[in-house]
Structure 1
Amino acid sequence: MNKINPSRTDAWKKLKEHYAFMKNRHMKDMFRDDPDRFSEFSLSFEDILIDYSKNIMNKETMRFLLELADESKVGDAIEKMFSGDKINETEDRAVLHVALRSRCQDTPVYTEHRNIMPDVINVLQKMEAFSARIISGDWKGYSGKPITDIVNIGIGGSDLGPVMVTEALKPYRKPHINTHFVSNIDGTHIAGTLKRLSPETTLFMIASKTFTTQETMTNAHTARKWFLEKAEDEAHIKNHFVAISTNSDEVKKFGIDPE
């Protein structure tokens, strides 16, 4: 992918000069001079509103910013991302979160000359079906009781991502299911969490792409030992542990059903 330093473009120079002109402007004056400012500097899509009218900017600012994007080839980079090109140069791989967020199977996303959307849709449908079983109580623990507590074990993005989503969607949470997050390798973190839970009604989600992350697997094995002290049968692990991982061999060794 072409590497262009934005600060070396003509548009950047224009923006620097423009900043000197704009920096002392006051927001109240900008709204007074342009009563339609909100309409000019806002966008909406379904239930989402993006309001950037309360920034020190005007139509000329937007023009220079668009010129900067054009000179920096942002459009080409976006096209490459949606086309499945390997724009992640560090790992030499495609950046496919756009495929995970798509719900349109008719719009293909290619990587390695293969449309991955059918696989993405299939996994998302499995996730939805799994979630529905937990919420409805159809998924039972080893004693026949429904799940009441879910513990996510992970670090970094495998912790922060789920925490952020859970916080953002808190108004929609199901009151009969509690969520917990364990990320610290310090044993007091998981010990304090387990103290409040019952093995019969707890589901652990082990989030590790490789299933070898030291901090995550240390906590996972602590949870496994705690669970088996009560359940006493490794066959019950499949009812109380699930994995978010690409390493199916290690997942099986742990006792989790890869399906």
Structure 2
Amino acid sequence: FVDYSKNHIDDKIMQLLFQLADECGLDEAITAMFTGEKINKTENRAVLHTALRNFSGKPVKVDGQNVMPQVQAALKKIKQFSEQIISGSWRGFTGKPITDIVNIGIGGSDLGPVMVTEALQAYRVEHITPHFVSNIDAAHIAETLKKLNPETTLFLIASKSFTTQETMTNAHTARQWFLHTAPKPEFIKKHFVAISTNQEGVEKFGIAPENMFIFWDWVGGRYSLWSSIGLSIACSLGY
């Protein structure tokens, strides 16, 4: 819905805008996007963040494959995990519930969640505090870690490839900080989760494969908060 009442757009201008949309093939472009055509010509990818908001469950296809079962499974996993965090049933290595969540990512893996959690501060879960680390400058993560208790902190490592230099540098800093307190490396599984597609890299880091949340190359960075990248939002505000 757009309120046109406080501008100089009259009926004539609206008709000209509709005419321009027709001349540009807007209807065809919208249909192409919603049906999974690869309208991202630069990367030869579909642009289907709309599938993440398709609560009807109607099929949405990419390369002839319906992606909705994958989408529904990923969203269900986010819901279940965030409910565990908020309820306190997910416990750290000393048996304490999580009180702080640190999202480590850059670009679209950071900006959307930061924006939503800042804009909706009034609706945050009182006992969960979100933090966001995106700068490779060591001061950023160092200042964040000063505020935290390893026993009650959960790190979300957001990198599709799990090789992004800035993200992984900060992730390894967080891992080292955590292991300075945690007596066993296997405790990483209770305090680190991955938002990625690189299961081998995730497991090598020490994160359990069941704690890996997937997303797809047809989710553009600016829309990724609707995908598993929005895990920090769900854990901070509720699903």
User: Where on the TM-score scale, by shorter chain, does this alignment land: which range?
Assistant: 0.7 to 0.9
Residues 92-120 of structure 1 deviation map (CA, whole Å, 9 limit, x = unaligned): 11111000122111x21111101111110
Amino acid at match of 1:56: H
Q: Which residue of 2 aligns with 1:109?
A: 60
Matched, 1:66 2:18: yes
Q: Which residue of 2 aligns with 1:167?
A: 118
Q: % of aligned pairs identical?
A: 64
Q: Which residue of 2 aligns with 1:54?
A: 6
Matched, 1:185 2:136: yes
Matched, 1:83 2:19: no
Residues 141-197 of structure 1 deviation map (CA, whole Å, 9 limit, x = unaligned): 000000000001111111111101212322211010001011111111101000010
Amino acid at match of 1:86: K
TM-score (norm. length: structure 2): 0.86
Please identify, of 126-135 and 164-173, the stretch whose mean Cα deviation from structure 2 is larger.
164-173
Q: Which residue of 2 aligns with 1:97?
A: 49
Runs of at least 5 residues in structure 2 that lack an aligned partner in the other structure: 211-239
> What pairs up with 1:89-238 in 2 under 5 angstroms?
89-105=41-57, 107-238=58-189
1:54 shift after superposition: 1.6
- The root-mean-square deviation of aligned C-alpha atoms, in Å, is 0.9
1:240 shift after superposition: 0.3
Amino acid at match of 2:133: V
Rounded to whole Å, the distance in 2 between the matches of 1:72 and 1:241 is: 47
Report the structure number with the largest CA radius of gyration: 1
Amino acid at match of 1:79: T
1:258 shift after superposition: 2.0
**Secondary structure in 1 matching 2:180:** helix
**Secondary structure in 2 matching 1:205:** strand
4+ residue runs over 3 A deviation = none
**Secondary structure in 2 matching 1:230:** coil
Runs of at least 5 residues in structure 1 that lack an aligned partner in the other structure: 1-42, 44-49
TM-score (norm. length: structure 1): 0.79
Rounded to whole Å, the distance in 1 between the matches of 2:8 and 2:179 is: 60
Amino acid at match of 1:65: L
Rounded to whole Å, the distance in 2 between the matches of 1:169 and 1:103 is: 23
1:52 shift after superposition: 2.8
Amino acid at match of 1:140: R
Q: Relative contact order, CA 8 A, sep 6+: which one is greater?
A: 2
Rounded to whole Å, the distance in 1 between the matches of 2:27 and 2:132 is: 38
Aligned residues: 210
Rounded to whole Å, the distance in 1 between the matches of 2:200 and 2:73 is: 21
